Amino acid sequence: MTGDGIRELPSELDPRHWRQTGARVLEHGLPDLPASLTYEMWIPLGYWTGGCCGVVAFMFFSPDHEDGHMRPMTSLMPYSREDGRWVPPPGNTFAAGGIKDGFDPVTDPDYSRHLDGSIMTYGTFSPRDSHEPGRPASTALGHVSPEVKYLAVIQDGEQDYRPLRSHFGTYLVCVEKQGPFDVAAFDGDGRLLQILQHPSPMYLRHRSRSANT
């Protein structure tokens, strides 16, 4: 146990080192996870890099307001590329969200999400109304089935095709240009499995209703 009450954790899973961990993930990829996880850990789930920016998804745990059980939460941390290194956002304020789907990698590391027969699902879509240089214009986080091995982001007729690198069936992408884009999922043989539009049709309908009220 350390002086601030946090037990000794692997550096890459220690919440006090998330800035350095995110930079290492963007530069070198995701760390392997230990066989046993704890609720004190911040777990890097996935990442995506662009030419001048990148983003890392972290999972951490917080007690539920209703029953007190620990629930996984996810936060997306944007980084900028400056002088050949990845620079985290300033400050300690960040947004996080969670889904009460029964997933808890601490108590059940072999849990498999039920995607209702889908190959890939929508999750969190975060567009920016104005593009700030060095920051993602939009990010998209969701889940994929085990057969997905590659992803591609398609925008303005250009395709960025990469191996899927994530934990717990997560996918994360970002784009540097404002505007719509698609995320395509492929199997290990490069066969196209599914394409999701971003923003999603439901998101666009919601924005349209909000603008008209």
The model's pLDDT over 159-210, given as tens digits with 9 standing for 90+, comes to: 999 999 999 999 999 999 999 999 999 999 999 999 999 988 876 776 666 6
Sheet (strand 43-49) strand order? 43-49, 53-63, 70-82, 85-87
pLDDT of residue 175: 95
What is the H or E stretch that residue 22 is in? Answer: helix 18-28
Is 43 in contact with 167 (CB distance < 8 Å)?
yes
pLDDT of residue 56: 96
- Whether pLDDT at 99 is above 70: no
In a domain, residue 184? The reply is yes
Q: Give per-residue pLDDT as tens, 107-147.
A: 887 766 778 889 999 988 888 776 677 889 999 999 999 99
**CATH number of the domain to which 49 belongs:** 2.60.40.10
How many helices (H) and strands (E) are present in the chain, helices listed first? Answer: 2, 11
pLDDT of residue 197: 95
More confident residue, 149 or 116: 149
In a domain, residue 16? The reply is yes
Compute the distance between CA of residue 16 and CA of residue 132 in angstroms, rounded to an integer: 27
In a domain, residue 41? The reply is yes
Domain range for 193 is 11-211
Is 43 in contact with 66 (CB distance < 8 Å)?
no
In a domain, residue 199? The reply is yes
- Whether pLDDT at 97 is above 70: no
pLDDT of residue 134: 81
Please state the rounded mean pLDDT for residues 92-102: 59
In a domain, residue 160? The reply is yes
Report percent pLDDT > 90 for the chain. 62
In a domain, residue 1? The reply is no
Q: Give per-residue pLDDT as tens, 10-21.
A: 999 999 999 999
Considering Cα of 8, then 13, then 14, then 17, what sign does the dihedral take?
Answer: positive
Q: What is the mean pLDDT of the chain?
A: 87
Considering Cα of 117, then 119, then 124, then 130, what sign does the dihedral take?
Answer: negative
- Whether pLDDT at 50 is above 90: yes
In a domain, residue 76? The reply is yes
**What is the domain count for the chain?**
1
First to last CA, the chain: 53
Residue 67 has φ and ψ, to the nearest 5°, of -120, -5
pLDDT of residue 164: 97
In a domain, residue 29? The reply is yes
